[in-house]
Amino acid sequence: MIKETYPYRFTPTIIHAPESKSTLAQLVSACADDCGGVVALFGISGSGKSTIALDYASTTKGIQYFDGLSPNHHDGLLPALNGIVVIDEVWQFKNARDVIAAHVNKNKGVVVAVACRLSEIEMLCGDHLKAAIEVSRGDIGVGGSMAHAMAGAQPQKKKKRSSGVIRYRSPSGHTWTGVGRTPKWLQALEMCGHPISEFRVSSPDDQKYMKD
């Protein structure tokens, strides 16, 4: 994580993804505060930034989503904003600067501004920029689903099988660590009247390591 100082009211954190968390998880984390501000999501065409933004907006309750290239916004004007707002192709909206400033200043709202270049977002929202997330090709899906990102979980690693110390040994050489189900050979000996303690390995020299 690289911090860079800007002459803005906020000191934005420039996050070069992917890091330990997925890009989506980075976005969730950056938006999760009550201070308001603008989170820039930027990257070259085809990097997947719009997909990440839409995924975040569509799977999180109460988020407003606007796409500057959508026919629904042919007038190029943003309405009044509420709560957390995602604005894709933010530079397409003529009143973006004023509407975003009003939302951050008055409502302490959070705006996710999406564009190809960080400079485009800086021109519109520089005074309120608090974090910038750079998206690279291949970041989509890193770290899992939206639920995974919200939980801040890391991909689970497979557990290695641990080795155990032999605790029991039969006269014929069968062994058992004492962990898990009692093996059939020991069950059979117990049924014949032999107590389990009879086969307990007491000598440290006999406690060879084995895979359990």
- In the chain the domains, ranked by start, together with CATH numbers, are 2-151 (3.40.50.300), 163-211 (4.10.430.10)
3-class SS of residue 41? strand
pTM of the model: 0.58
At 26-35, the pLDDT tens digits run 888 888 876 7
CB 12 within 8 A of CB 129: yes
Main-chain dihedrals φ then ψ at residue 127, nearest 5 degrees: -70, -15
At 109-166, the pLDDT tens digits run 999 999 999 898 988 887 888 888 888 765 544 333 444 444 443 445 555 554 578 8
Please state at what angle helix 23-31 crosses helix 49-59, rounded to 10 degrees: 50
pLDDT at 47 over 60: yes
